[in-house]
């Protein structure tokens, strides 16, 4: 297996690509072969994107009461959870969070809202906040506002949005088990509309929902087809009251293998490990960079707390990794 893994890495570095069958085969590596896979992912990462870590932070600008029924989500109105419920925060609050992200060394800052989409006065408020963030900070703001069309993407871009974030969540073949209130195609169309508006796209998903290993590969290939700019990888942190509250966690090694295979499928993309890092990787959190990730989220997540920022900054420095401002 070591030779097969090395040959795949050489081929990718030479400009070729990994096939779907090869990627699925790599999901089955076990024992010490796992380290061969990580070494290959590291080589590919260093060749295509170097050895820097990109940091991003988010604000949950509107929480809860979402009409969608995503099985993992604490903010779905279909679930009874302890997640906070509040309307869109004032623009001063978004600005203050952007300033805090800037202080923490993170130049990429996401304004995230729960719900199917935003429009009307809420959209206007976000446009105003974006203009102020661009004027008053060095932060490059991104937004995650649900399903949007090209016109909305253009408005957000004109107000200063650098990147639009919209996850596919999982593979098309598994999506109906996770969400039935909208179609997978609505998410794909959003990504296409945003790209058409000339905005960079951050698009990934969440692992450990019960999807199979080949379905993880399937989503990576969809992301490759869509040619998204960066790929956030979340790992399920089961929340009490959601449909997946009792889901068995994906193992730490499965998380790392999935990151490594994503690096081989998406060699030149930014791969950012986001929610569920602490819960699923525990002592192995620093291994995400050996497995091929070149970014991570710092600070808190949408409805769960992240690790102390200073602890993360010490981890980057202990690993000798240079942290860089996000410039998608």
Tokens describing residue 93: 């609050």
List beta partners, residue 163.
142, 200
Rounded-to-integer distance, Cα 75 and Cα 297, Å: 20
**Per-residue DSSP letter, 63:** B
Around Cβ 103, how many Cβ atoms within 10 Å? 10
Stretch that binds ligand SF4, among 43-51, 72-80, 224-232, 264-272 (CB under 6 A): 72-80
Answer yes or no whether residue 187 interacts with ligand SF4 by CB under 6 A: no
d(CA 182, CA 177): 12
Question: What's the per-residue H, E or C state across 211-265?
Answer: CCHHHHHHHHHHHHHHCCCEEEEEECCCCCCCCCCCCCCCCHHHHHHHHHHHHHH
Q: Based on the shown chain and the rule CB under 6 A, indicate whether residue 68 belongs to the binding site for ligand SF4.
A: yes
Give the whole-angstrom CA distance, residue 179 versus residue 274: 21
Least CB distance to ligand SF4 at residue 76 (A): 4
**Piece of the chain touching ligand SF4 by CB under 6 A; list 10-18, 32-40, 68-76, 102-110:** 68-76
Stretch that binds ligand SF4, among 70-78, 216-224, 247-255, 283-291 (CB under 6 A): 70-78
Least distance (Å) between residue 126 CB and ligand SF4: 16
- Is 285 a binding residue for ligand SF4 by CB under 6 A? The answer is no
Among 42, 60, 76, 285, binds ligand SF4 (CB under 6 A): 76
Q: Kindly tell me which residue out of 70, 130, 133, 297 binds ligand SF4, with binding defined by CB under 6 A.
A: 70
Least gap, CB of 167 to ligand SF4 (angstroms)? 8
CB closer to ligand SF4, 66 vs 298: 66
99: enclosing H helix or E strand? helix 91-103
> Is 97 one of the binding residues for ligand SF4 (CB under 6 A)?
no
Q: Which residues contact 39 (CB under 8 A, 6 or more apart)?
A: none
Between 68 and 211, name the residue whose CB sits nearer to ligand SF4: 68
Give yes or no for residue 66 binding ligand SF4 (CB under 6 A). Answer: yes
Which chain residues interact with ligand SF4 by CB under 6 A? 66, 68, 70, 73, 75-76, 114
């Amino acid at each position: 297996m070591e030779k097969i893994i090395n040959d795949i890495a050489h081929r990718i570095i030479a400009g070729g690509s990994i096939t779907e069958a090869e990627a699925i085969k790599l999901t089955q590596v076990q024992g010490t072969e796992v380290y061969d896979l990580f070494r290959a992912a590291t080589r590919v990462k260093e060749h295509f994107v170097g050895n820097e870590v990109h940091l991003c932070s988010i604000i949950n600008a509107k929480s809860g009461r979402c009409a969608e029924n995503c099985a993992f989500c604490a903010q779905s109105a279909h679930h009874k959870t302890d997640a906070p419920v509040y309307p869109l925060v004032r623009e001063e609050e978004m600005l203050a969070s952007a300033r805090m992200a800037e202080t923490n060394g993170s130049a990429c800052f996401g304004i995230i809202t729960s719900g199917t989409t935003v429009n009307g006065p809420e959209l206007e408020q976000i446009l105003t906040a974006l203009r102020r963030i661009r004027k008053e900070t060095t932060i490059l703001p991104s937004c995650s506002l649900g399903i949007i069309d090209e016109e909305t993407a253009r408005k957000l871009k004109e107000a200063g949005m650098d990147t639009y974030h919209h996850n596919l969540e999982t593979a098309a073949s598994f999506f109906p088990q996770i969400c039935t209130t909208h179609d997978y195609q609505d998410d794909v169309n959003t990504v296409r509309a945003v790209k058409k508006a000339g905005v960079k796209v951050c698009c990934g998903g969440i692992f450990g929902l019960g999807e199979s290993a080949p379905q993880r590969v399937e989503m990576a290939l969809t992301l490759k087809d869509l040619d998204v700019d960066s790929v956030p990888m979340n790992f399920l942190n089961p929340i009490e009251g959601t449909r997946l509250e009792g889901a068995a966690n994906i193992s730490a090694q499965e998380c790392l293998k999935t990151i490594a295979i994503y690096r081989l499928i998406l060699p030149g993309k930014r791969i950012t490990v986001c929610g569920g890092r602490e819960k699923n990787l525990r002592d192995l959190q620093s291994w995400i960079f050996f497995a091929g990730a070149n970014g991570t989220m710092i600070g808190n997540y949408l409805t769960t707390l992240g690790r102390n920022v200073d602890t993360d900054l010490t981890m980057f420095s202990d690993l000798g990794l240079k942290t860089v401002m996000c410039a998608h």
